[in-house]
Amino acid sequence: MQHRNDKTAKSIASFWGKSLKDQDWYSVDTSTGQTEVLIYDVIGWPFVDANAFTRDFNKIQSKEITIGINSPGGDVFDGTAIYNTIENHPAKITTRIDGVAASMASIIALAGDEIQIASNAYYMMHNPWSMSLGDHRDFQKESVLLARITDTLANTYAGKTGIELSKIKSMMDDETWLIGKELVNQGFADKVIGESKTKARFDLSMFDKTPETIKGESVKTPLKTERELEQLLTRDAGFSRSQARAIINSGFKSVITQDANADDIAALTNLIKQLETSNV
């Protein structure tokens, strides 16, 4: 179960290469007489939280709603709740992929009555991931859960597109990226719209097959100094300065002990992944 505290929030933000200071996570605009909702961030707490989104979305009384999407994905359970909230709303809903709809955001995009994609926007589907802590029994349980989630997502893709389930699962295994017209041709979207100026704005380097055209916008500058590493550990992951110095001087094993809590392990896992992809 996710511990919702400052340290966990910073750890999740660090994993996605984001700052918690930028709180333009989603917005609802009715000023023009029509309702436009923008989901422009990571899915799940502390960003596009399903509870907050559902509360706000269900208050909308417009007969037509457009939902713009620019998201790298995120929490599968929050994403499922958001998908169901959109699909169950009585309004005619158009989902519009403005920048990227990756991972769980690709499921949310399918909740619209009409699905649009900008000619230069991307859509990505893959098998769900998780991080786990425990012995072999815990990992076996996690593997079973991931397989069940994979089946659920695959059935959603297949049900919305009419594509055979076996092909959908193969596309998920391969981490499939589609751009603009490709998405319509494959049956995932109804309409291609004009080129969008919206950029990805996310660290997408964690994915294996991120197209170079958007990877270049999102990959952060590699860390080069101990000072930068210390700032990352304290500012982004929430460790104390003494913990940060211990990690720098003695390695990550100085914190990974039997007494380390789940938040510490999650933070270190995220930081190790960042350091590996930054070629430090």
| Count of CB atoms situated within 10 Å of the CB of 78 | 22
Q: Report pTM.
A: 0.74
- Per-residue CA distances from 2 to 5, 18, 92, 139, 187 (Å): 9, 19, 34, 17, 35
Domain residue ranges of the chain, discontinuous segments joined by +: 18-126+175-218, 226-277
| Count of CB atoms situated within 10 Å of the CB of 114 | 13
CATH number for region 18-126+175-218: 3.90.226.10
Average pLDDT over every residue of 18-23: 70
pLDDT at residue 105, rounded to an integer: 97
Contacts of 194 by beta carbon, 8 Å cutoff, 6+ apart: 118, 119
Average pLDDT over every residue of 11-31: 73
Enzyme catalytic residues: 103, 126
Share of the chain above pLDDT 70, in %: 74
Q: For residues 165 and 196, which has the higher predicted lDDT (pLDDT)?
A: 165
Range of 44-48, 149-153, 259-263 with top mean pLDDT: 149-153
pLDDT band (50, 70, 90) for residue 2: low
Contacts of 248 by beta carbon, 8 Å cutoff, 6+ apart: 226, 229, 230, 233
pLDDT at residue 68, rounded to an integer: 96
pLDDT higher than threshold 70 for residue 259: no
CA–CA separation, 25 and 139 (whole Å): 32
**179-206 burial string, b = 16+ CB within 10 Å, else e?**
bbebbbeeebbeebeeebebebbbbbbb
pLDDT at residue 248, rounded to an integer: 65
